[in-house]
């Protein structure tokens, strides 16, 4: 009995103690190999046409020439087809990559090169169709695709009326010259509409975009009290009647017309140089409101004309123009025209009215400018319609040319931009 007890005790002790081979394995701690940085995992991606994008394992030496590239790709077990070449497209030096030289060793840091290659045809595919002369000849002699007889897509005409500054006297005259200039541009607008129809790009809807500074005002500079040829109420009256004329011309030609305006500095209601009231306390906004009231009394003639004005605490607006978002702001919000794009970016981050605009229209700086920014966005600064900015000419030597800016927007974006 005691012997059996001793035997059981020894068996129990043996079960509790780990076996010799298990102990030897337990001393080899296996740590996972650190993963490659995101996007640099080794592997192959196959592209259409037989091209392969190869991300090679990290190497301690800098990549050399094409022979070295080829060797590194072949080390991955890839066979490079006849007529193909290896090209290095990206190399990144990692000065502190983690390594483990053998199983069970501690990880250390060591500089490595991470490389990506392309395996592609040695000769571009298009060269196999013939020499360059034949390629150019065939392309130029191709049969043109017939244009669709009827374009049912909406096309919008945008007319930008900017910086008329009624009442201002300058090198190009005063109020009589201003009105004559605007009348001439309206005649050219009629011609432009006919030209678009003649080439098969007739607009189906029109947008009137008033970019601000419709009147000169009296509180912006001291000289206005001595150089203006109209009183403030007369300035407002001239602007209202000119706007009536411009919108009447569009309303008589298009089945839908949208009129929009924005706040500006010359038209802002002021006491001295200080603005009074919210941003919408603006003579240009008030005039468009008056016209909207008048049109509302005659829906038979003007029921197809709508109006867009800024919210009470905003001075810019956005419009959906044939599927393209067009923003309208005066431009006095920044000190120099070069700052327009920076200001636009800030408005986007602040989710302001023009945040989603594909095209931004501004005025204020009295010269025409256009710049493509970001991913296909367009900033266009409209020219002035006023009698000249002599103070700017004296300071800079630059003379701005007057004009009425127009452009079209269709399913493929903007086109037909002209200064009339």
pLDDT of residue 388: 86
Q: How far apart are the first and last CA of the chain?
A: 120
Topology of the domain comprising 156-419: Purple Acid Phosphatase; chain A, domain 2 (3.60.21)
Q: What is the 3-state secondary structure (H, E, C) of the chain?
A: CHHHHHHHHHHHHHHHCCCHHHHHHHCCCCCCCCCCCCCCCCEEEECHHHCEEEECCCECCCCCCHHHHHHHHHCCCCCCCCCEEEEEEEEEEEEEEEECCCCCCCCEEEEEEEEEEEEEECCCHHHHHCCHHHHHHHHHCCCCCCCCCCCCCCCEEEEEECCCCECCCECCECHHHHHHHHHHHHHHHHHHHHHHHHCCCCCCEEEEEECCCCECCCCCCCCHHHHCCCCHHHHHHHHHHHHHHHHHHHHCCCCCEEEEECCCCCCECEECCEECCCCCCEHHHHHHHHHHHHHHCCHHHHCCEEEECCCCCCCCEEEEECCEEEEECCCCCCCCHHHHHHHHHHHHHCCCCCCCCCEEEECCCCCCEEEEECCCEEEEECCCCCCCCHHHHHHHCCCCCCCCEEEEEECCEEEEEEEC
Q: Which residues are CB-contacts of 153 (< 8 A; sequence separation ≥ 6)? A: 322, 410, 411
Q: Inform me whether the pLDDT recorded for 348 exceeds 90.
A: no
Query: Between β-strands 305-308 and 405-410, what pairing exists: parallel, antiparallel or unpaired?
Result: unpaired
Average pLDDT, the chain: 86
Reading phi first (left if > 0) and then psi (alpha if -120 to 50, else beta), residue 185 is in alpha
Are the beta carbons of 1 and 16 closer than 8 angstroms?
A: no
- Structure confidence at residue 244 as a pLDDT band (50, 70, 90): very high
Give the model's pLDDT for residue 23: 44
Say whether pLDDT at 34 is over 90. Answer: no
Q: What pLDDT band is residue 51 in, cutting at 50, 70 and 90? A: confident
Model pLDDT for residues 305-322, shown as the tens digit of each residue: 999 999 999 999 999 999
**What local confidence, expressed as pLDDT, does residue 148 receive?**
59
List Cα–Cα distances, 406 to 75, 239, 257, in angstroms: 61, 19, 15
Contact between residue 398 and residue 392 where contact means Cβ atoms under 8 Å apart: yes
Check residue 300 and give its pLDDT: 95
How crowded is residue 173: how many other Cβ atoms within 10 Å of its Cβ? 16
Angle, vertex CA 280, rays to CA 276 and CA 284, nearest 5: 100
| Alpha-carbon dihedral sign for residues 291, 292, 297, 301 | positive
Distance, CA of 117 to chain centre: 32
pLDDT at 17: 55
Q: How many CB atoms lie within 10 A of CB 207?
A: 25
Say how far apart CA 250 and CA 208 lie, in whole Å: 8
Confidence of residue 32 (pLDDT cuts 50, 70, 90): very low
> What is d(CA 209, CA 361) in angstroms, rounded to the nearest whole number?
9
Please give the pLDDT value at position 251.
96
Give 187 or 274, the one with higher predicted confidence. Answer: 187
Task: pLDDT band for 102, please (50, 70, 90 cuts).
Answer: low
pLDDT-wise least confident of 62-66, 94-98, 176-180, 276-280: 94-98
**Over 70: is that where the pLDDT of 104 sits?**
no
pLDDT for 96 equals 74
Closest CA to 176 of 238, 262, 97, 264: 238
Domain edges within the chain: 39-136, 156-419
Segment 165-182 mean pLDDT: 93
Q: What is the pLDDT of residue 28?
A: 44
What 107-110 contacts at long range (C-beta under 8 Å, 24+ apart), as own/partner pairs, is 107/31, 107/34, 110/60
Confidence of residue 10 (pLDDT cuts 50, 70, 90): low
pLDDT for the residue 22 = 43
Distance CA 234, CA 7 (A): 121
């Amino acid at each position: 009995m005691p012997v059996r007890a001793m035997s059981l005790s020894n068996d129990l002790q043996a079960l509790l103690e780990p076996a010799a081979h298990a102990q030897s394995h337990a001393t080899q701690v296996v740590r996972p190999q650190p993963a490659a940085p995101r996007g640099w995992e080794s592997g192959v991606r196959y592209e259409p046409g037989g091209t392969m994008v190869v991300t090679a394992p990290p190497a301690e030496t800098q990549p050399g020439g094409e022979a070295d590239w080829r060797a590194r790709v072949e080390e991955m077990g890839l066979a490079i087809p006849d007529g193909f070449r290896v090209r290095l497209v990206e190399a990144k030096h990692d000065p502190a990559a983690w390594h483990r030289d053998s199983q069970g060793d501690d990880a250390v840091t060591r500089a490595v090169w991470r490389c990506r290659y392309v395996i592609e045809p040695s000769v571009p595919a298009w060269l196999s169709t013939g020499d360059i002369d034949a390629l150019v000849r065939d392309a130029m002699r191709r049969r043109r695709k017939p244009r669709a007889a009827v374009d049912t897509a909406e096309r919008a005409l945008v007319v930008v009326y900017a910086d008329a500054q009624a009442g201002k006297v300058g090198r190009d005259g005063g109020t009589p010259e201003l009105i004559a200039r605007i009348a001439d541009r309206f005649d050219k607008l009629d011609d432009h509409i006919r030209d678009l129809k003649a080439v098969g790009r007739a607009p189906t809807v029109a947008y009137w975009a008033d970019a601000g500074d419709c009147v000169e005002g009296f509180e912006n500079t001291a000289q206005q009290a001595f150089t203006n040829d109209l009183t403030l109420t007369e300035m407002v009256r001239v602007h209202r009647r000119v706007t009536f004329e411009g919108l009447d011309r569009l309303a008589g030609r298009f089945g839908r017309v949208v009129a929009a305006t924005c706040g500006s500095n010359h038209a802002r209601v002021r006491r001295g140089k200080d603005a009074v009231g919210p941003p919408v306390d603006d003579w240009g906004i008030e005039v468009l409101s008056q016209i909207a009231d008048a049109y509302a009394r005659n829906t038979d003639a003007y029921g197809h004309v709508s109006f867009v004005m800024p919210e009470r605490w905003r001075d810019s607006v956005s419009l959906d123009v044939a599927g393209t978002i067009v923003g309208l702001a005066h431009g006095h919000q920044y000190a120099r025209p070069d700052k327009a794009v920076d200001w636009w970016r800030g408005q986007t981050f602040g989710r302001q009215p023009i945040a989603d605009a594909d095209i931004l229209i501004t005025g204020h700086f009295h010269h025409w400018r256009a710049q493509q920014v970001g991913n296909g966005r367009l900033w266009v600064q409209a020219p002035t319609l006023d009698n000249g900015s002599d103070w700017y000419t004296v300071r800079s030597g630059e003379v701005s040319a007057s004009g009425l800016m127009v452009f079209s927007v269709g399913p493929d974006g903007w086109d037909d931009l002209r200064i009339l």
